[in-house]
Amino acid sequence: MIEKLPNHLAIILDGNGRWAKRRGLPRTMGHKVGSDRFRDLSLAIFHLGIPYLSAFIFSTENFKRDKEEVDYLMDLFVDKFKKEAKLYQKEEIRVIFSGRRDGLREDVLHAMDEITEMTKDNRRGTLNFCLNYGGQYEIVDMIKQFMKENIDPDTLTPELLFHYTYQNLPPIDLLIRTSGEYRLSNFMLYQSAYAELYFTDTYFPDFDESDLEKALLEYQNRDRRFGGAK
Ligand code: IPE
Ligand code: MG
């Protein structure tokens, strides 16, 4: 029984390509299966009662990949947002995005805007897709926004700076990364300051509800002191 749930759970989805390679399949198949896995996993997360979920689905740096793979991912996103808008609407989940719009295709932006608009009044949970997202860019954008408002810099506090993050979400409590990589890879740096980190060797397309439960059980046994003494 899980007693203490994270308020904000974040996942760095990783290992789609290796999952496919291991099966002799093209990398793109890993993305397809990973995308379906994420849909089901996200519903399980909200059904448990976790209110905020952030998912790193495409970094600003992922544009360095082959055009073919990037195009496939963008097509997959368009398809996914179109198909899943109704599902998240039915589940009363608000879908939002973090990242830079510059550099994204028109059809991707359109699909993002449609699912955001359709689900904007939902209050059961918030699903934040980090797409064309980079954590250092977010901090740069936060500072730019703050400076544009001509507020006295001496009034700035860590809490106030949260208001300038892309979506003003609460701090991350638990951050999961799959596929045996032990890095943050520029993901939600400001929001992860006190996140509990959980790493698993499982490739994302294989990360199922029982793996999620394992991560949550470990989280509830962590001693979070936020820098205080015991
Ligand atoms: C994660 O899987 C999905 C995205 C970053 C879009 P990867 O594509 O990074 O898979 P590996 O790391 O190459 O196995
Ligand atoms: Mg990877």
Distance 185 CA to ligand 2 centre (A): 10
Query: CA 158, CA 155: separation in Å to the nearest integer?
Result: 10
Asked whether residue 175 is assigned to any structural domain, the reply reads yes
User: Which residue matches tokens 């996140």?
Assistant: 195
Distance 136 CA to ligand 1 centre (A): 20
Residues 60 and 19 sit within 8 Å (Cβ to Cβ): no
Asked whether residue 228 is assigned to any structural domain, the reply reads no
pLDDT digits (tens, 9 = 90+) for 113-145: 999 999 999 999 999 999 999 999 999 999 999
Asked whether residue 80 is assigned to any structural domain, the reply reads yes
Asked whether residue 225 is assigned to any structural domain, the reply reads no
Is pTM, for the whole model, over 0.95?
Answer: yes
Asked whether residue 101 is assigned to any structural domain, the reply reads yes
pLDDT attached to residue 223: 87
Name the packing angle between helices 106-119 and 67-90 (round to 10°).
20
CATH number of the domain within which 154 lies: 3.40.1180.10
Active site residue 62: yes
Q: Which domain holds residue 82?
A: 8-220
Asked whether residue 227 is assigned to any structural domain, the reply reads no
* Pairing mode of beta strands 8-12, 93-98: unpaired
Ligand 1 pocket residue status of 13, Cβ below 6 Å = yes
Asked whether residue 1 is assigned to any structural domain, the reply reads no
pLDDT digits (tens, 9 = 90+) for 142-171: 999 999 999 999 999 999 999 999 999 999
pLDDT digits (tens, 9 = 90+) for 53-86: 999 999 999 999 999 999 999 999 999 999 999 9
Number of domains in the chain: 1
Asked whether residue 198 is assigned to any structural domain, the reply reads yes
